[in-house]
Chain A
Amino acid sequence: MPTRRVLYIEDNPEIGRWVKADLERRGYAVQWLMSGEDADREVARHDVVILDIMLPGLDGFTVGQRLKKAAPAVPILLLSARGAVEDKLLGLQFADDYVTKPFHPDELAARVEVLLRRSGAGPSEPIKLGQRFAVDLAGHTVLDEVTGEEVELTAKQYQILACFLRNPNRILTKDQIFEAVWGEPYIEGDKTLMVHIRHLRMKLECDPSDPEIIETVRGIGYRVRL
């Protein structure tokens, strides 16, 4: 798996040191800058940016906007000691996620991983699904490792599966899935999604009536655990 490159901009040396060490321990290649002045020249060579808001000189909001302009495809995660809602709203106009200090390193790593997966810079190796399937998100294929054959999915079935895999272990409500896949508001009572999920289960589950891969969370939605 190629090393994912993280551009980390943080002025506090103590926090910077331990976050860099923690991310490197998790397998990321981290370039740590203590100010955002030259960051726009570096951003294109990275897969994700972790940006502190309170920086000396140019503040994180300005730096973030410049970075987004320089490399729109590179996701930005804001890291801040300021918890005000306005700050979050202002930050999320250009950033893809927002973490408030004192964050937990596991939370930071999990959010970085989600951003990488969403941007397509996630793991390029196939994702293991249940006991027998491997999903290659880059190649848009699902392989049955027992038979060695590709599982044929319709475009919508694949999009639903990819939506689950981009949000692993999260419970997604019907309207969240519908809006992500169809791009339209979900109408209560619409059975389209349920029909697609039933067909998907018939192709992926050993026993579709007792699903192990696409779990139903009663009254709430569905979840795929990885």
Chain B
Amino acid sequence: MKKTRSPFRRYLLVHFLIMLLFPLLILVMAVGVFPADEPAATDALNESRSATLLISLVLAVLITISWLFFYRLRKRLIHLQQAMDLSAHTSDFPLPVEVPPNQLDEVGQLAYAFNRMIRQLESSRNREREEEALRQKLIANLSHDLRTPLTVLRGQLVGLRSEPLGPAGRESLETMDRTITRMGEWMEELLSYTLLTSGKYPFRPGSENIVRLVRASVAAWYPVFENAGFQIEAELPEQGAFCWEIDPAWMTRVLDNLYQNVLRHAASGRYIRIAADAAREELEIEDRGPGMTAPSAEGGVGIGLSIALFMLREMGLQAHFSSGREGTIVRIGKI
């Protein structure tokens, strides 16, 4: 918060000056300005001086009391402000302010209200943490509880495969098998996204040769694209590799999700190009699918892409998508 000149400080300064200067001025005026020539006049003058001194004294006492009052008030308010300021610099809430029993005035009440607010915030944050833990546990349990019956289903499908079935029956089995795989992937994505957004996904960044990492990732996916009838182009030059400060597991996951999207939504193009541009320090993944706006038979809510974008952002990277009817190009580079 931008600090402005304290009115309390100014008030105290003015008070101090008045306290010092006002009695001095009166004294100077009483002693120096009216010289005493006659006895009657001298008496009147002495009375006048006494009255002036008395008034000055009373004024000085009043001003002193007032100064002390505002000085202490300012001191207590500063103490309270410092306690409140703590929350702006740390993620923890400030400790409650100690209020002595003899200071239960308006400022004391303010401190009490502040303490009450801290307790409420703490309780609210604890409740939020408990709810978050419960949500994660629920998703993890849900993931487990759904995966087990899916595995049982797959077992039944495997059993059915050995039974005599017509082409339509075999087609149905394949569809069911694909759906089971897809549901398993969705659950994994949901769990990963929950862990990511709650900061529970392990993150271990380091300097990584990105071309080498992409090459290993493409090597793992190559047979998958090959089986799906894709033409695969890898432009990953050995010379001129560059490094990014990333978590290799996260970057591999990002690439996995992007390749998975190409397989799911751009399989009709039967083409993928993965390139590393050392000069611009960029990665490019290009497909010849129907584009990102085209409806996809595979459906999905795009959790995989959200995970990829979230991870890139956390690693200081960004993805730029150029998509049209001729295909999509994803360019990944530093923010």
**Interface residues, chain A, CB within 8 Å of chain B?**
12, 14-15, 17-19, 22, 54, 81-86, 89, 100-105, 169-176, 188-189, 217-221
Q: With a CB–CB cut-off of 8 A, which chain B residues contact A85?
A: 192, 195, 201-202, 249
Instruction: Give the number of residue pairs across the A-B interface with Cβ within 8 Å.
Output: 112
Indicate whether A220 sits within 8 Å of B219 (C-beta atoms), given known contacts A22-B158, A89-B202, A105-B158. yes
Verify A102–B154 contact, CB threshold 8 A. yes
Indicate whether A81 sits within 8 Å of B181 (C-beta atoms), given known contacts A12-B152, A173-B215. no
B180 at the interface (CB under 8 A from A): yes
Verify B147–A170 contact, CB threshold 8 A. no
What would be 29 A-B contacts, judged by CB atoms less than 8 Å apart? A14-B152, A15-B151, A15-B152, A19-B155, A81-B143, A81-B145, A82-B140, A82-B144, A83-B143, A83-B191, A84-B140, A84-B195, A85-B195, A101-B184, A102-B151, A102-B154, A102-B180, A103-B151, A104-B154, A105-B158, A170-B219, A171-B222, A172-B219, A176-B216, A188-B212, A188-B239, A217-B219, A219-B215, A221-B215
Q: With a CB–CB cut-off of 8 A, which chain A residues contact B184?
A: 100-102
Q: With a CB–CB cut-off of 8 A, which chain A residues contact B249?
A: 85
Verify B241–A188 contact, CB threshold 8 A. yes
Indicate whether A175 sits within 8 Å of B144 (C-beta atoms), given known contacts A83-B188, A101-B150, A101-B151. no
Q: With a CB–CB cut-off of 8 A, which chain A residues contact B187?
A: 83
Closest to A86 in B: B202
Interface residue count on the B side (C-beta < 8 Å) = 45
Interface residues of B in 187-231 (CB under 8 A from A): 187-188, 191-192, 195, 200-202, 209, 212, 215-216, 218-220, 222-223
B171 at the interface (CB under 8 A from A): no
Q: Shortest beta-carbon distance, A208 to chain B, in Å?
A: 22
Instruction: A3 to B142: give the CA distance in the assembly, Å.
Output: 38
Verify B222–A101 contact, CB threshold 8 A. no
Q: Which 6 A-B pairs have the closest CB atoms?
A: A18-B155, A219-B234, A81-B147, A102-B150, A171-B219, A102-B151
Verify A189–B195 contact, CB threshold 8 A. no
Output the residue of A101, A173, A176 with the most chain B CB within 10 A: A101
| Chain B contact residues, majority secondary structure | helix
Output the residue of A19, A22, A81, A100 with the most chain B CB within 10 A: A81
Closest to A190 in B: B238
Q: With a CB–CB cut-off of 8 A, which chain B residues contact A83?
A: 143, 147, 187-188, 191-192
Instruction: A188 to B209: give the CA distance in the assembly, Å.
Output: 10
Pick the contact of A218 from B152, B188, B234 — CB < 8 Å?
A: B234
Q: Shortest beta-carbon distance, B162 to chain A, in Å?
A: 9
Closest to B235 in A: A219
Verify B236–A189 contact, CB threshold 8 A. no
Instruction: A89 to B203: give the CA distance in the assembly, Å.
Output: 12
Verify B219–A189 contact, CB threshold 8 A. no
B103 at the interface (CB under 8 A from A): no
Q: Mark B74-93, 1 if CB is under 8 A from A, else 0.
A: 00000000000000000000
Q: Mark B238-256, 1 if CB is under 8 A from A, else 0.
A: 1101000000010000000
Q: With a CB–CB cut-off of 8 A, which chain B residues contact A219?
A: 215, 233-236
Q: Shortest beta-carbon distance, B335 to chain A, in Å?
A: 24
Q: With a CB–CB cut-off of 8 A, which chain B residues contact A169?
A: 223
